[in-house]
Every structure is written in structure tokens, then in C-alpha cells.
Amino acid sequence: MADTTKLEIGAPEKPDALMEICDDGHPGGRNPSKVALKDLKAAGFSKTPILRVLRAKCIDCCGGILSEVRACPITNCELWPYRMAKNPFSNKKGNAASFGNLKKTLRSQQ
């Protein structure tokens, strides 16, 4: 019988602290919110703005070719609106509509 206490499945650089034995008896990734920060850092993760994470995933998806990310035609992908590391729904910054709204707000306060 296989020794399931040793988790050797997955990328070898990922330490066992990120893995667990799932309910079905197979090894799987742990819930990241339950992993100690020191273990996440040891695995090479760091606090990163989520839009940068999404952009990195898109770059990976396109084999590192930035122009492919820019021209991505997969408009039904959940990441598609965020692939340029901007949130088009944000009221804070990044789109013309939000700047227009900001101008209106500032004018109304004068």
C-alpha cells in the first residue's frame, strides 16, 4: 500500500505544507487561507495585487507573448476583462467612465 503521508505529487518545488490528503484519499492542494504565511512565502508566493496575478496568468496562458495577451480573442474567459492588469469596473481608476464620474463628483462639491 502506498504511503500517503508522503506527498510527492505536484511540482517538486512546492513544499508539502501546501498539500494535504483530501477527503477522497488523494493528495491535493490545501486551502491557501489555512496555510501559514511563512509556508506560502517559503513556496515563493508573496502579497501581490490581484490584477497583477491575473495578468501573470494571462501571460502564462499566452506562452509569455504580451501581444497575444493584448489580442486574446477568448472573450468568454473569466479573466478576459482583466488581462491588461486594469479593472474596467473599478470606480477608482483605469477607465474613462470612472474619470468622467470623478469629474462630475468634484464639480458637484464646488
> Contact residues for ligand SF4 (CB under 6 A)?
57-58, 61-62, 69, 72, 74, 77, 79-80, 83
**27 versus 94: smaller Cβ distance to ligand SF4:** 94
**35 versus 54: smaller Cβ distance to ligand SF4:** 54
DSSP the chain: ---TTS---S-TTS-GGGEEE-TTSSEEEPPGGGS-HHHHHHTT-----HHHHHHHHHHHHTTT-HHHHHT---TTSTTGGGTTS--TT-SSSSSHHHHHHHHHHHHHT-
**53 versus 62: smaller Cβ distance to ligand SF4:** 62
